[in-house]
Amino acid sequence: MENNFSRRKFITSTATVLAGSMLMNEALGETTSLFKGPKKRYAMVGTGHRGTGMWGKDILAEYADYVEFVGLCDKNKGRVETAKKMMGVSCPSFTNFEEMMKAVKPDVLIVTTVDATHNEFIVKGMEMGADIISEKPMTTDETKCQQIIDAEKKTGKKVTVTFNYRYSPHRAKMYELLRSGAIGKITSVDFHWYLDVHHGADYFRRWHRLRENGGSLWVHKATHHFDLLNWWIDSDPTEVFAYGALEHYGKNNSFRGVSCRTCEYKDKCKFYWDMTKQKRLMELYADNQQYDGYLRDGCVWREDIDIFDKMAASIKYANGVQVSYSLTAYSPYEGYRIAFNGTEGRLEAWIQESNPPAGDVKKGYDELMLTKNFGKPELIKVPIPQGGHGGGDKLLKDKIFIPGTGDALRQSAGVRDGALSCLIGIAARNSCDSGKPVKIGDLTTIKPGVQKV
């Protein structure tokens, strides 16, 4: 009782903490929120896997004191109804976006549609009075990017881009070490990301396989990595030169089907994936396939696949840092290797997220290695909390939904961050097409190295 009392007294005296605090009455096993403000009214467009999960059911389970869903919209009339059931909400559902915005007038619009359509909903959403939470990538080409920059300026509304990768504790630790000068001035970065034959292959099954939907993995996937680089390096990218090729998936096989469920090569294809075992995915996609023909388990060998599966780029930054980056989408394990080279040392990490070597024990921490010039390597262990993306998803959601949550490590991302990360991918894709380096400053009105949009 004494402990409970002191904790209560402490919390009520701290306004910032008050907004986001929960009191646990241990005797009753109940959790009581101290937040008494009005709930914000949220609408969502794009009620697929990410929308219904991370931004739907999970939000209602953890942030119900702050959030009320007032409308859901998806172009697939069956999926929006499935979403309503999955999320357990009773708000109205729509297949027409403007109708929803006019009818429910949300405070905030969550945009979780296919990447290439984000700009449409971000821009219209702001014009119709809402602040925006957009999934990454913010958008997929430079023209759409400019539309978002202009609309935010014109409407005075705010866009938050949900870069959950920034919130993983070991990445936050890297940020702290780099800012504290642990390796002196950063001069170059080696950054190599590996998607495995399971997760990597999945991009080639879904809408992501076409540039027109996801802007290629240069944008859809690498926007996460480029955002991390921009944040860690604490500067703006100025120029990109890149190569890319499609040499594993798509046309690179002797046989192919249309989707795994209907395939005649089930027995011999190493990439056969039995979606029927996944109840949630069957309900979201297979049961609603009749409305849009979308195949969640499309064949990875389809000949229309037009994205790259191996990519390499050189990126130059306004502060002189040079980056060597690569992305491979058919690796035997998933993870990444990174090294920051500095004037006084080197900070590196090898994070392997799947297929560990035989006998490897689950460690419960990520490891960084810091080596000062002329010094011995120092291993730094960063515990991995529970939850999606190494605990990062929860921290991101706390920041978004709990009023007053601080941002000491500058992890919250807006339009400028959203733009500069996807612009590196857009520049890389343009460079692959033209064979020439691309200047980031030529793509939109954002001038790298200058802090204003």
Q: How far apart are CA 198 and CA 271, in angstroms?
A: 8
Q: Specify the residue, 265 or 291, whose C-beta has the smaller distance to ligand NAD.
A: 291
Of 228, 177, 129, nearest to 380 by C-alpha is: 177
Q: Are 43 and 71 in contact (CB under 8 A)?
A: yes
Q: Specify the residue, 235 or 421, whose C-beta has the smaller distance to ligand NAD.
A: 421
Q: Specify the residue, 95 or 371, whose C-beta has the smaller distance to ligand NAD.
A: 95
Q: For residue 41, state whether it binds ligand NAD (rule: CB under 6 A).
A: no
What DSSP designation does 236 have?
Answer: -
Q: For residue 84, state whether it binds ligand NAD (rule: CB under 6 A).
A: no
Q: Specify the residue, 50 or 57, whose C-beta has the smaller distance to ligand NAD.
A: 50
- Helix/strand/coil for 92: coil
24 bridge partner residues? 31
137 cis-preceded (ω within 30 degrees of 0): yes
| Angle of the 97-104 helix axis to the 118-127 helix axis, nearest 10 | 30
Longest dimension (CA), the chain: 72
Q: Which of 49, 105, 199, 346 binds ligand NAD (CB under 6 A)?
A: 49
Least CB distance to ligand NAD at residue 3 (A): 38
Q: Specify the residue, 139 or 155, whose C-beta has the smaller distance to ligand NAD.
A: 139
332 cis-preceded (ω within 30 degrees of 0): no
Q: How far apart are CA 229 and CA 325, in angstroms?
A: 10
Q: Specify the residue, 135 or 417, whose C-beta has the smaller distance to ligand NAD.
A: 135
Least CB distance to ligand NAD at residue 214 (A): 7
Instruction: Record the tokens describing residue 433, joined without a space.
Output: 């097409």
Q: Which of 82, 93, 117, 230 binds ligand NAD (CB under 6 A)?
A: 117
Of 367, 421, 365, nearest to 163 by C-alpha is: 421
Least CB distance to ligand NAD at residue 76 (A): 4
Q: For residue 113, state whether it binds ligand NAD (rule: CB under 6 A).
A: yes
Q: For residue 76, state whether it binds ligand NAD (rule: CB under 6 A).
A: yes
Q: For residue 202, state whether it binds ligand NAD (rule: CB under 6 A).
A: no
- Helix/strand/coil for 62: helix
Residues 125-144 that bind ligand NAD (CB under 6 A): 135-136
Q: Which of 21, 93, 160, 164 binds ligand NAD (CB under 6 A)?
A: 164
Binding site for ligand NAD (CB under 6 A): 45-51, 73-76, 79, 112-115, 117, 135-136, 164, 207, 220
